[in-house]
Structures are given as C-alpha cells and as structure tokens.
Amino acid sequence: MEEEERMEKIIARLEKRFPLKLEARSRDPFSLLIATILSQNTNDRNSHRAFERLKENFPITPEALASLQPERLKPAIEVAGLSNIRSRRIVEVSKAVVEKFGGDLKAILSLPLEEARSRLMSIDGVGPKTADVVMLFAGNRRVMPVDTNIFRVVDQVGFAKGRNYERTRLALERLIPPEKLHRMHLLLIRLGREICKPRRPLCPICPINDLCDYGSGRLGKDGCLEKRGDESLRGIPRGRREEAIWLSRQDG
C-alpha cells in the first residue's frame, strides 16, 4: 500500500474514533507563545494552571512581562515546575518581542510561511515546535507541530523513524492534506496519549493497528491481534479483552 493511501485510511479512522470540534477563532499569538513555554516538559493540567495563575497576576502582554524581574513571575508559574528557567525565559522572550517586533507578533504570521517561521525562531528560546504551534493555532498556517506523542506514533506507524523534528514534520506535511493538518495534529496527540502509549501500547484497541508497522507486526494469522500471548493485552482490564480483540477487527 502506498504511503498516501495508508495515510488517507489513517485519517478516516482517527476521525471516526476521536470526533472533535475545532475552535473557529485563532488564539492571540503572544499569549499562545507564553502558554507553550509553560507547557514544555510538564502535563497539560499543570501548564494550564500556571498560565491561569500568571494571567490572574499580570497582563499577558509583551510590554508588561518584559518589565518584570523573573523572581516576580516564579510564584505564579511554580505549579508547572522549572520556575527558575521558565520565569527567565518568559521575561527574555517578552523583551525580544518588544525589541524586535514592536510587541506585535500578528504581523509576522502574515508573512510567507518559511519567513514567518524563521522570524519566530530568531527569538532566543523559541524553537521549531514552539514556532509551529504559534503559526498553526494563532495564524491558521498549514504546519504540523511535532510533540513527543506524535514522534512516537509516527515512528511506530513507520512514516518517519527516530526523533528528527524536521524529518517527521516534513513527512507529515507531505502526506496530510493541508486542510487536515490542524485536526490531525490533535488526533495524533490523542492517539499517543490514550492508545499508543510509550511503555505499553494498547495495540488491540488501536483503530490503525493493521496500518502500522509496529502493530501489524503483532497481528495473528487471521489478521487480528492474538488473544493470548500478546503483551499489550496486559494493559487492558480482563473484562474488556474480548471487546479489545473484536475492535481490532473493525474499521477495515
């Protein structure tokens, strides 16, 4: 099966398994930039709490945050962890946005894609993933940010091996229709969190196990995952194992 055909089937199955409604409005790019810094190396719950506490205590504008000492930010964002590093980075990024772009990131998002990406990454502390997140969710640009979950899923499926950001991003942007990039970013993350887990992937209930290099390698002779002897079944309660095996035969 060609990669394009395989991706087409994967998109259809993930949309069926994980229905979601996309936000119609774009987010403020600077607020999103700060939220992304807070989300690095922590979970969504803690990063959200840190952002809300930061917003309660300070205006989320480049000018306001650039004028602060990092020590003033630390109590608000402590719940996200690494508050010494994050507080300094937030202040430095805010200063850079003021000095380089007059405090306005919106104009950057209207530039040609690679130029916008390059300008965002010229801010010290903003890497490719952060730049892509801002462009996708604040600028509605056709890019695919790659996080830990997406790296894992794409590696297991076989579209791009290893953790090379550009290789994985470009492989996905080549295979996924541009209008589907936003949705697929969220769907791949959800698949990685709920099913394609790092230590014990739940292959029997994965909707794309037969389209995945790793999952299809564990299929039995009849084309579905073996009921016995499959380690991934250990991650599923006994009462749901029959259902899991049945689900592995669906969505053909």
Task: Check pLDDT > 50 for residue 229.
Answer: no
Lowest-confidence range among 16-25, 154-163, 219-228? 219-228
Same domain for 119 and 65, yes or no, is: yes
- Quote the percentage of the chain above a pLDDT of 90: 70
Instruction: Evaluate if residue 200 carries a pLDDT over 50.
Output: yes
The count of domains in the chain is 3
CATH number at residue 17: 1.10.1670.10
Find tokens 């009462």 and name the residue: 239
Is 83 a member of any domain?
yes
Domain range for 208 is 203-247
Structural Rg of the chain based on CA atoms: 21
pLDDT digits (tens, 9 = 90+) for 47-56: 999 999 999 9
Angle at 251 between CA 250 and CA 252, to 5 degrees: 95
In the numeric block, the tokens 């990092």 are attached to: 70
Whole-number percent of the chain with pLDDT over 70: 85
73 within 8 A of 101, measured Cβ to Cβ: no
DSSP bridge partners of 225: 219
CA 56 and chain centroid, separation: 26
pLDDT of residue 7: 97
Is the residue at 62 inside a domain?
yes
Contact between 54 and 91 under an 8 Å Cβ cutoff? The reply is: no
Give the Cβ contact number of residue 177 at 10 Å. 13
| pLDDT tens sequence across 206-217 | 999 999 999 887
Mean pLDDT, range 31-45, rounded to an integer: 90
Flag the least confident range among 77-86, 95-104, 126-135, 175-184: 77-86
Task: Determine the Cα–Cα distance for residues 229 and 29; give it in Å rounded to an integer.
Answer: 49
Confidence of residue 228 (pLDDT cuts 50, 70, 90): very low
Residue 252 within any structural domain of the chain: no
Report field, pTM of the whole predicted structure over 0.85: no
pLDDT at residue 20, rounded to an integer: 86
pLDDT at residue 24 tops 80: no
Same domain, 33 and 64: yes
Contact between 32 and 139 under an 8 Å Cβ cutoff? The reply is: no
**Residue 226, in any domain of the structure:** yes
- Compute the residue count for the chain: 252
Closest to 158 in 3D by CA, of 205, 217, 214, 210? 214
Q: How far apart are the first and last CA of the chain?
A: 14
The residue among 204, 202, 200 whose CA lies nearest residue 245 is: 204
